[in-house]
Structure 1
Amino acid sequence: MLKRMNIFLILKFACAAAVVISSFLSLAYPGNQRLATLFTQFLLSLMFLFSGISEFKTNRKTYAIVSFSVSLFAAIVFISTLLLRKG
């Protein structure tokens, strides 16, 4: 079973688990919500990027394009939030 899974699928599931854990932590500790939101947004961007690469390798180009566009949008939101925080 592990031979059939490619590295991008494993990375996608690892990022998904990290997103769930960081979301639970931001709910448990609401005082540090801004940093947790940035971290979760970055992980979501990576998760959709790995998902798009995985879908592209399995020749599902429509889903890959959607995943890449969502990843790009999440990365833009992450960068703009990071810049607004510093400014």
Structure 2
Amino acid sequence: MLKKMNIFLILKFACAAAVVITSIFSLAYTGNNRLVSLFTQLFLSLMFLFSGISEFKTNRKTYAIVSFSVSLFAAIVFISTLLLRKG
């Protein structure tokens, strides 16, 4: 089974697990969780990036373009939130 899974699929599931863990942590510990929110946005962006790469490799270009677009949007939100935090 591991031979059929490519590295991008494994990375996508690892990032999805990280998104779930950081989201649960954010819900469990209320308060000022801006740092946890940043990590959630980062892992969400990476998850959609790896999803887009794996969709592109399987010749599903429409899904790949949508995944890349969502990944770009999540990365822009991550960067803008990071810059607003510094300022």
Where structure 2 has 5 or more consecutive residues not aligned to the other structure, the ranges are none
TM-score (normalised: structure 1) = 0.97
Where structure 1 has 5 or more consecutive residues not aligned to the other structure, the ranges are none
Deviation at 1:30, TM superposition (A): 1.3
Which stretch has the larger CA shift, 25-34 or 60-69? Answer: 25-34
Structure with the largest fraction of helix? 1
Counterparts of 1:37 and 1:67, CA distance in 2: 20
> Matched residues, percent identical?
89
Letter in structure 1 aligned against 2:23: S
Counterparts of 2:57 and 2:45, CA distance in 1: 19
Contact 1:26 1:32 survives alignment (8 Å): no
| Number of aligned positions between the proteins | 87
Q: 1:8-87, aligned counterparts within 5 Å?
A: 8-87=8-87
State the Cα RMSD in Å: 0.6
TM-score (normalised: structure 2) = 0.97
Contact 1:48 1:68 survives alignment (8 Å): yes
Displaced runs of 4+ in structure 1, greater than 4 A? Answer: none
